[in-house]
Structure 1
Amino acid sequence: MTTSSIDTDLSARFKDAFRAYPTGVALICATGPAGPAGLTASSVASVSVDPPALSFSVMGSPSAQVITAAPSFVVHLLGPAHAPVARSFAQPGAPRFTPGQGWDTLPTGEPLLRDAQAALRCRPLHLLPVGTSTVVVAEVVEVLLGTPGDRLIHHDRTFSTVTAPKGH
């Protein structure tokens, strides 16, 4: 077995492993020189409470390049009603930032999905290139809480809803 076939097999198994691992769904958005840009992400994670910080990874898409170059961006944590917008932002060329999706603009200039379960305005602290991706560690400078509800998760290349337990 050659090294490249081992790497290919390992990469395929790695993808299969994470397809079976459900994660939350977020939209990460920023404003660049050509206007707003955004992408769907399932890699958002809490890093620190003091200072408040989170992380995510992106590949080299045009939207990712705008986000990693921006002085600030917003990470929107999504609920089930946002599955259509999450799908749009996951597909190149699909409609984005349309009036029907519920966008507004923060006074600081970033796009805001008004009815997100939470919107975290961030500024980048560290950009770490890893292979074809970039891991972003960002300080959270503002938290806008929406209405809590059921969860939108990404699992095996699909968006699914998980009902919130009673009393939460």
Structure 2
Amino acid sequence: MTSTPAASSPDQIVPHLSPSAGFSGSLSADEFKALFRGHPGGVAVITADAGEGPVALTATSVASVSADPPLLIFSVSSLSSSAAVLARAETVVVHLLDAQDLDLARIGATSGIDRFDGTRPWSRLVTGEAVYHDVRAWVRCAIIERMDAGGSTVIAAHALQAQLERDVSPGEAGDALVYHNRAWHRLGEHSRIDS
């Protein structure tokens, strides 16, 4: 994740465009939000600790980028109470949730509460990171890059260690938790429309 131009071939260079590139028009924040309300996202809770105690937030922006090396990205709003810690943390734990973890998704999405008060059991890994218990899966990652993007920071992370509690076999519906149009939804066999 750099700001250098990307090249698809030695003689073809695609210019890097910054937010101040002088576009003739732009969608309003409300128009942009309306677009993405109808675009569901998988739900994750991200924990981090920069030395003053753990923080957690719920995110729908987690995406895999590469399997080799194993890289993922997510974004955090500068308005998030966890933003300052994520700006300094060297590692994070990304908890990939299913519908059985809805309570944890709600904890991470609720502002002004202590997300580590014992409501949801958690402990520290031997490496020091806070990890919630009994989630579908978690992955401990080293942060390798941060990029400012509007009012958010996009974070790239390298997967170091993982635990998978509830696996989904290839082709199975699973019990996925998604956020769509300001509500939580469960995906399952009932929601499958094609195989």
- Among 142, 145, 160, which residue is 2:185 paired with? 160
Look up the match of 2:98: 79
Query: Greater relative contact order: 1 or 2 (C-alpha under 8 angstroms, separation 6 or more)?
Result: 1
Q: Identify unmatched segments of 5+ residues in structure 2.
A: 1-24, 168-173
Q: Identify unmatched segments of 5+ residues in structure 1.
A: 1-5
Look up the match of 1:11: 29
Q: Quote how far apart the aligned CAs of 1:52 are.
A: 0.1
Question: Which protein has the bigger helix share?
Answer: 1
Q: Quote how far apart the aligned CAs of 1:143 are.
A: 1.4
CA contact (8 A) 1:151 1:164 kept: no
Question: TM-score, normalised on structure 2?
Answer: 0.76
Look up the match of 1:110: 129
Structure 2 residue 161 is the aligned partner of structure 1 residue 142: yes
Identical residues among aligned pairs (%): 40
Structure 2 residue 151 is the aligned partner of structure 1 residue 151: no
Q: Quote how far apart the aligned CAs of 1:90 are.
A: 1.1
Question: TM-score, normalised on structure 1?
Answer: 0.88
The runs of at least 4 aligned residues of structure 1 exceeding 2 Å deviation read: none
Larger Rg: 2
CA offset digits 1:2-49 (Å, max 9, x no partner): xxxx65x53211111111111100000012322110100000000001
Question: What residue identity is the alignment partner of 1:157?
Answer: R
Q: CA RMSD in A?
A: 1.8
Where do 1:29-48 residues align within 5 Å? Answer: 29-48=47-66
* 3-state secondary structure, aligned to 1:99: coil
Q: 1:145 to 1:153 in 2, by over 3 A?
A: same
CA contact (8 A) 1:38 1:64 kept: no
In the alignment, the residues of structure 2 paired with residue 73 and residue 44 of structure 1 have an alpha-carbon distance, to the nearest angstrom, of 12
* 3-state secondary structure, aligned to 2:39: coil
Question: Which protein has the bigger strand share?
Answer: 1
Give the count of matched residue pairs.
160
